[in-house]
Every structure is written in structure tokens, then in C-alpha cells.
Amino acid sequence: MTNYYEVLDKNLVAVDCVIFGYDISDKELKLLLVKRKFEPEYGKWTLPGGFVKKDEGVLEAACRVLYQLTSLKDVYMEQSYAWGDVDRDSGGRVITISHFALIKTHELDPVMIEASVAHWRSISRLPKLIFDHRRIIDRAYKELIDRIKVKPVGFELLPEKFTLVQLQDLYEAIYQRKIDKRNFRKKIISMNLLEKMDEKEKETSKKGAYYYRFIPSRYEDFKRQGFYFNLDVQ
């Protein structure tokens, strides 16, 4: 029996990773970008990416790309969109499946980043990128904004313990606008997902500010009780 699949067109499939990073001292949302190492568009800024091998899952490929660049595993990774226009890549017909990842920049070895082709660039000052990579970023960024409003994924970008000011800084960096402090605190406290610690952060003020921790099990309980996470604050 001949296999029907054998006569069909095959396509190159790639993954591109929109790697968002945040550092509590910088208070800026950043993207990890690389310079391309092959033609076409050699040397130009691009999203870290790679081609999906025939014996490799799509998510697996995205994790491989991220690992090769950062040596990080177990990173928050979510599929964003499959970009399928015939002429989106000037080197050939490539369908790329974009993913976004969230990492704490302080987890990355700065020596490794320094020596590699990768650079952190602020989301508000991105260089010109190849192909449709700017559109890919814009979509992933919108998805990130939507996600942090309704899911506690923002904590992926913070150290384990953080102050409420640091949490608000993160949301302001992602939203790229100021938000109302009172309203923000009221919302996050009322969900009862954070544990107030005994320890204080004292570097930024004399009085100090208590550290908090996000407790994933409390979030599970919260959902089971039919509640929805909501940090959509003006």
C-alpha cells in the first residue's frame, strides 16, 4: 500500500522565541535578541529561532532554542501563533510557530550573555528586525499584557520574594504606563495569593517594605472556589 502522505508537499517549519526578561533594578521589560548567523539577512537582528527537526516536537524545538541560548530549563513558555504566509521569509517558504517565554534576567549568567550573540533590548527601544519578527513580537507582547491581567504569570519575572512596589513596577513596565497604587494593592491583597514575609527590603527606603511571596497552592484553591485572577488596574 502506498502511503498517501508520501506524495504531499512538505514545508520547512521553524520556531521563533519571544523571550521577555525583567530585572527588578532596571524596571524595564526586555527582549533577548540575537544577530543572525546565516544568509539571507546575515548579521541582522532577529528573534532567537531554529528549525523543527523531523523527530522533534514543536514545543521541544522552542525549548531547545531557549536552552542553547540561555542554559535555562523549566522556563515559562507558551505558544503564541503560527505565521504561515508563503513569502514571509526571503530565504524560502518557512512556516514559523512563535512562542513566548518569561525569564528573570538575573538568572542568566551575564558572562555567557556577554560572550554570546544575544543581547537584552528594551521593549520600548527595539532595533529593526528581519522579516515579520516585529509583528511576531507585537502579537506576543499583546498576549503577555492580556495574560498578566488574568493569570498570575507575572511572578515568573520576579524573584521569589518581592515587595508590593516591585510587583507594581513590573506591571507598570509591562503595561508601559503608571497604574493606581491603591487600587492595585487592594486587588492583589484581596485575592489572598501572596504571603507576607517577616523580612523587609531596606535598600530603597529607611522604613523598609515587607517582602511577599506568591503561593501557587493558594492560586489553585482560589480557582477551585470559582474565582478569577484579575489585575486589570487603570
Binding site for its own copies (CB under 8 A): 1, 3-5, 8-13, 38-39, 51-59, 61, 79, 81-86, 91-95, 97
Minimum CB distance to its own copies, residue 1 (Å): 7
Minimum CB distance to its own copies, residue 93 (Å): 6
Minimum CB distance to its own copies, residue 118 (Å): 20
Minimum CB distance to its own copies, residue 33 (Å): 20
Whole-angstrom CA distances from 174 to 28, 30, 177 are 8, 9, 8
Whichever of 53 and 186 has its CB closer to its own copies, that residue is 53
Three-class DSSP category at 182: helix
Whichever of 42 and 217 has its CB closer to its own copies, that residue is 42
> Which residue shows C-alpha cell 549568567?
109
Whichever of 58 and 191 has its CB closer to its own copies, that residue is 58
Whichever of 10 and 128 has its CB closer to its own copies, that residue is 10
Minimum CB distance to its own copies, residue 59 (Å): 6
Cis peptide bond prior to 40, omega within 30° of 0: yes
Q: Are 86 and 131 in contact (CB under 8 A)?
A: no
Whichever of 25 and 183 has its CB closer to its own copies, that residue is 183
Q: Taking each helix axis as running N to C, give the angle between helix 181-190 and helix 164-175, from 0 to 180 degrees, rounded to the nearest 10.
A: 110
Phi, psi torsion values for 174, nearest 5 degrees: -75, -45
Minimum CB distance to its own copies, residue 159 (Å): 31
Which amino acid is present at 126?
Answer: L
Whichever of 24 and 94 has its CB closer to its own copies, that residue is 94
Q: Are 37 and 1 in contact (CB under 8 A)?
A: no
Torsion sign, CA atoms 158, 159, 160, 163: negative
Rounded distance between C-alpha atoms, residue 92 and residue 90, angstroms: 6
Q: Are 214 and 192 in contact (CB under 8 A)?
A: no
